[in-house]
C-alpha cells in the first residue's frame, strides 16, 4: 500500500521464504557456515539457538535455499510437540519412507527400518537427507532419545543423514542431558542480536533489496531503531514497517527519531 510512496518495488520488512533479504551479520553468517559444514560433511547434528525474533527460522530457510532441493531432501518439522513414536512417524512421512501413510504405522522398530531403507534410497539417488526440527526446545527426553536412535542409522548401515535442531537457548541443556545425542553434536550455533552498526546496515540492506537506493530513515532514526528493538531482526522489521506506513499517511519523505518512537509505542499498545 505504501511502497510506491517510498519508491519500493516490494515490501521491505515483510518475511520472505527464500532468503532474498538475508543479511550476513557476523552472528548469522557464522551460524550458517557451521550448519552448512554439518550437512556438507555429514557430521551428524547441528544445534541452533537464539532468543525470540533472533532469526532462527529465517536462517533455516536460508540454509535450505542455499543447499537446494535438487541435491538435498529436507524433512522439516515445525510442530514437534508429539510423542516419540508420532514424531518418528512424521519424520518418516516427510522423508517419503514407504508404507508410512497409515496413521497406525508399524511401531518404532518398523518406522526405523522404513526410514533406513529410505535413507539408503535417497543416498543412492545422490540426494542428502536433512532432518530439521524447529522449536526443538519443546522436545522431552523420550523424543531426544528417539533422535539418538535415529542417528544410529548413520553408523555402518550405508544410510546417511544430518539433523538440525533449532530452538531457544534452553535446548542446549536438554541436549546435554542425552549423552549419546550430545556426543553427535558437531556444531553449536548461538544467534546474537545485531549491533548498532549492523542494525543500520540491516535496514539499509532490506530497503536496497526492495528497490530503494537511498535510506529514508535519518541517522537518529536508525539509532532509535536499535535502541527500541534491542537488535532483534523481527522487532526491527515490525518497527520499520509501521514507521513507513505512518510516514506514508503523513506524506513524509524521511523519518526521524520521533517517528520511530511513535511506531514502537503503537506496537506496544501505548
| 195 CB-near residues (< 8 Å, 6+ apart) | 25, 226, 231
Give the CB-side neighbour count of residue 70, counting CA atoms within 13 A: 1
Dump pLDDT digits (tens) for 45-86.
Answer: 999 999 999 999 999 999 999 999 999 999 999 999 999 999
Average pLDDT over residues 173-193: 96
Q: How far is Cα 60 from Cα 179, in angstroms, rounded to an integer?
A: 25
Give the CB-side neighbour count of residue 152, counting CA atoms within 13 A: 11
Q: What is the pTM of this model?
A: 0.92
What pLDDT does 102 receive? Answer: 47
Average pLDDT over residues 138-163: 89
Q: What are the cell numbers at 105?
A: 504405522
Dump pLDDT digits (tens) for 201-217.
Answer: 999 999 999 999 999 99
Q: How far is Cα 197 from Cα 181, in angstroms, rounded to an integer?
A: 38
Q: How far is Cα 8 from Cα 138, in angstroms, rounded to an integer?
A: 39
CB atoms inside a 10 Å sphere around CB 50: 25
What pLDDT does 100 receive? Answer: 46
Q: How far is Cα 32 from Cα 48, in angstroms, rounded to an integer?
A: 9
H or E stretch including 128? strand 128-133
CB 118 within 8 A of CB 95: yes
Amino acid at each position: 500500500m505504501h511502497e510506491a510512496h517510498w519508491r519500493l518495488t516490494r515490501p521491505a520488512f515483510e518475511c520472505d521464504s527464500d532468503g532474498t533479504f538475508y543479511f550476513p551479520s557476523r552472528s548469522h553468517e557464522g551460524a550458517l557456515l557451521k550448519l552448512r559444514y554439518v550437512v556438507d560433511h555429514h557430521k551428524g547434528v547441528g544445534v541452533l539457538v537464539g532468543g525470540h525474533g533472533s532469526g532462527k527460522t529465517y536462517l533455516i530457510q536460508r540454509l535450505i535455499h542455499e543447499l537446494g532441493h535438487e541435491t538435498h531432501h529436507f524433512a522439516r518439522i515445525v510442530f514437534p510437540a508429539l510423542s516419540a513414536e508420532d514424531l518418528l512417524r512424521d519424520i518418516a512421512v516427510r522423508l517419503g519412507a514407504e508404507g508410512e501413510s497409515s496413521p497406525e504405522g508399524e511401531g518404532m522398530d518398523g518406522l526405523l527400518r522404513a526410514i533406513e531403507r529410505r535413507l539408503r534410497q535417497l543416498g543412492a539417488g545422490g540426494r542428502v537427507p536433512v532432518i530439521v526440527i524447529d522449536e526443538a526446545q519443546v522436545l522431552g527426553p523420550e523424543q531426544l532419545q528417539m533422535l539418538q536412535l535415529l542417528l544410529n542409522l548413520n553408523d555402518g548401515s550405508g544410510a546417511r543423514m544430518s539433523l538440525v535442531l533449532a530452538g531457544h537457548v534452553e535446548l542446549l541443556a536438554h541436549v546435554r542431558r542425552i549423552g549419546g545425542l550430545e556426543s553427535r553434536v558437531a556444531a553449536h550455533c548461538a544467534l546474537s542480536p545485531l549491533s548498532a552498526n549492523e542494525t543500520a546496515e540491516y535496514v539499509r540492506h532490506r530497503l536496497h533489496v526492495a528497490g530503494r537506493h537511498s535510506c529514508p530513515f535519518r541517522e537518529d532514526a536508525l539509532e532509535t531503531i536499535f535502541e527500541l528493538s534491542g537488535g532483534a531482526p523481527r522487532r526491527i522489521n515490525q518497527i520499520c514497517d509501521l514507521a513507513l506506513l505512518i510516514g506514508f499517511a503523513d506524506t513524509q519523505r524521511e523519518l526521524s527519531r520521533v517517528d520511530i518512537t511513535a511506531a514502537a509505542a503503537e506496537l506496544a499498545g501505548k
